[in-house]
Amino acid sequence: MANQGDMVRDCMSDRIRRLLSERILTGVYEPGHRLVELKIAKELNTSQGPVREAFRELEALGLVEVEPYKGTRVRRLSERDLQEAFEARAVIEQYAAELAAPRLRGNTAELRRQVAAIYKAANSGDIDYYATEDLPFHRRIVELSGNSILVRFWDALQFEVRTRILLSRNKVNLHESHQFHQRIVDALDEGNGKLAGELLREHITNFAEVLGAEADARDAASKSVIGKAAVEAHLT
């Protein structure tokens, strides 16, 4: 699958971007964390320029916010941001399923393997482990839509999606989720994209709602954007 075109760019600014991106996504830098150009430049034995470029790219990806002459910080997500992200994700996946269904009819062995892995993860009760099996399944469906732009959009939502998951730890009913996956694959196997799409939408919306309710309770108490709460949640 990997060909010469996959050659990753590798100038300093790209490596910096990848490193920072990972640190943000895994919560090493929590939301609101201030990123200082020269500090990072010194840490990575480089200079200010490449770090600046990396910041700009991260900004375009929605991971950080940049204010001129003030600085760059890890983006804080409001509950609304998370809701919108899950809504967008639901839209994308529902349509991806419809587009992918024709070519998946009677040809879902790969997806079934992934669902089995998710089931195993669900039994472990570890939501981090669960997420590492669950997300690729959803992404794969988007890939199978054959539309690379939808994949790009889906990827662009990962920061919000992961934040939501990190924030929620305990409230998800993993086995109920697993049943959804089963039904989704069954629908795809029959080539019933409409149904698969609707199930996906329901599945994702459910997930977002359960966690949203939890967030509302939390917000009522701490009355704030996610940043603060996430500071704790991210640091596992």
Partner DNA sequence: TTATTGTCGATTATTGATAATCTATTGTCA
Partner DNA sequence: TGACAATAGATTATCAATAATCGACAATAA
By the rule CB under 8 A, 221 interacts with a copy of itself: no
Integer angstrom CA distances of residue 175 from 105, 109, 140, 210: 25, 21, 21, 14
By the rule CB under 7 A, 60 interacts with DNA: no
Alpha helices in the chain (DSSP H): 12-25, 37-43, 48-60, 79-104, 109-124, 127-144, 148-156, 158-168, 174-189, 193-222, 226-234
Six token digits for residue 227: 């940043």
By the rule CB under 7 A, 50 interacts with DNA: yes
Q: Among residues 65 and 219, whose Cβ is nearest to a copy of itself?
A: 65
Q: How far apart are CA 53 and CA 11, in angstroms?
A: 11
The window from 103-111, 119-127, 145-153, 209-217 that contacts a copy of itself (CB under 8 A) reads 145-153
12 binding partner (options a copy of itself, DNA, none; Cβ < 5 to 8 Å by kind) = DNA
Q: How far apart are CA 137 and CA 46, in angstroms?
A: 38
CB of 159 to a copy of itself, least distance (A): 11
Q: How far apart are CA 131 and CA 165, in angstroms?
A: 8
CB of 62 to DNA, least distance (A): 18
Site string for a copy of itself, 45-84 (x = CB under 8 A): ----x--xx--xx--xx----xxx---------------x
Binding site for DNA (CB under 7 A): 11-13, 35-39, 41, 45-50, 52-53, 66, 68-72
